[in-house]
Chains A and B, each alone.
Chain A
Amino acid sequence: MSRIPPPISKHEDNGVSFFETPGVDMLYRTCLALAEELAITQDRLDTLERVLSQRGQIDLEEVDHFEPDAHAESQKHCLAARLSENVLAPIKALVEQYEVRDPEAERGRPHEK
């Protein structure tokens, strides 16, 4: 069989958007990135609980009512920021693509009609 062209064309960088509206691809990718981050957290938490319970050092009640000090609070903010950046990375890429797009390409876009 000779080389068959793909049903959905690839971008110049060899990437591909499977949906006609690239935003849908971005949304799926955002969800996957979020799920990856959640999986890492879940895994870490599971490890910690196992280690601490093996040592008899964990009290779930205490964990539920934990009050972070200023340093811990700052670190928690950093963690939240990193998660947010990862989840928003595909949208950030979309925004950056918009920033470098030729203004001529804007003509005829549905929302500007």
Chain B
Amino acid sequence: MARNTQHEMLTSPSSRIRARQRFVLALKRNGEQLRRQLVESVDTRFSAPGNDAEGNFQQAVSKLYSEDAYRAVCLVKRAGQEMMWNTIGDAIDVELPRLKGLLEDAGKRDVGGSLNLRDDVSLPEEWTTARVHLQPGGYLRDDGDQDVVAGALYEEGGALYSRGQGVGTKESKAECIIRFLKGWKPDFQPRRILDIGCSAGASSVPYAIAFPEAEVHAIDIGKGLLRYAHARAQSIGVPVHFHEMNAEQIDFPDESFDLVVSHNAMHEMASFTQQAMFNESFRLLRRGGVCIHQDLPLKFAEMSPVRQADIMFDEWYNGELHWSDYAGTDCQAGLEAAGFDQANIDCKPFPLLDETMSWLLAAAEKTVSDEMS
């Protein structure tokens, strides 16, 4: 079930809004091409033999931002992102009563999923004001008991953003993990699956489809995201249990899952939160269970100073809180610190089915010896 799966929680924008979305998508794609072209040129000159400036991040920042052309592509990227949220927000506004109605109906559908919200989850202070990817109201936006806007914005914005970035849409992140898992452990049949940082639930649903005998649970900290995710899964007709929980302290018993996954969650976490998620993955897994945490293959150590300076745009001007933290972390070391045996850890880029790009998959298996150590 790929990202572009149709379901009732998606909006059907008017032709005028669709025209705006087509334009914004074209603007983002063209802007991104220009940006990559320019950065490559600057990188070539900056790193040319005999150029004393090579190797210095701050000098690369100064060089890039001294170019009017670079400032212009930055402006286009920022403005394109704002225009994207405006047009998606307009599409959602028109259909909000219908979306709220679907949430109300979700509990009445005989699907088997559930929604478990609570008010005692402690959240990092920064998340109350964070606007990741400039999403209006942020992930924690909550306009009342029936509010699903954060989830609607996340799913519709995410799809358009990814297409603007040129990320493939033929295989979802979850499908990619499932394909990796089936190659790694062909006979693996998890009975209980946990999706950490599930956002709008688009990545939780494919596990319930791929492993129909399994019980699928998914957690996040945003009420509006979880309400949307619940209504979405129920409307598709797939049972998933959504819970409001923090990845740092997950309220499930030890050894209660066979498969623990996350999708694009690591780069949105502070380093200590990511480590806590690895620790919780280890605690929650049964013997023979595996965790697979997927994210962008973003490693500062493998980039030129100009490329490093360029990708910092997302932390400085696109609301990413922990972009540089993530680009500097070592998942292999984090999983080892959590208790997984070095020999049972596999952290590597794994190509999408259409080979347009690779995801980083940080995978580990919990074995008998891990438990005894």
Residues of A within 8 A of B (CB): 1-4, 6-8, 10, 14, 16, 18-19, 25, 28-29, 32, 35-36, 39-40, 43-44, 47
Contact = CB atoms under 8 A, between A and B. Distances in A.
7 contacts: A8-B71, A19-B71, A29-B75, A32-B80, A36-B23, A39-B20, A44-B15
Contacts of A39: 19-20, 22-23, 26
Nearest to A18: B71
Contacts of A25: 75
Contacts of B61: 7
A40 B325 contact: no
Interface in B281-312: 300, 312
Contacts of B79: 28-29, 32
A37 to B, nearest CB: 9
B72 interface: yes
Contacts of A28: 72, 75-76, 79
B75 A18 contact: yes
B62 A7 contact: yes
Interface in B62-88: 62, 65, 68, 71-72, 74-76, 78-80, 83
Nearest to B86: A36
Interface residues of B, number: 33
Interface of B: 15-16, 18-20, 22-24, 26-27, 61-62, 65, 68, 71-72, 74-76, 78-80, 83, 131, 300, 312, 315-317, 324-325, 327-328
Nearest to A41: B19
Contacts of A4: 312, 315, 324
Contact of B16 (A10, A19, A44): A44
Contacts of B18: 43
Nearest to A7: B65
A3 B324 contact: yes
Contacts of A32: 27, 76, 79-80, 83
Contacts of A40: 16, 19-20, 23
A16 B27 CA distance: 19
A14 B131 contact: yes
Contacts of A14: 131
A47 B76 CA distance: 28
Contacts of B78: 16, 18
Nearest to A16: B317
Contacts of A6: 312, 316-317
A4 to B, nearest CB: 6
A28 B68 CA distance: 12
Contact of B19 (A16, A18, A43): A43
- Among A16, A25, A32, A44, max chain B CB count under 10 A is at A32
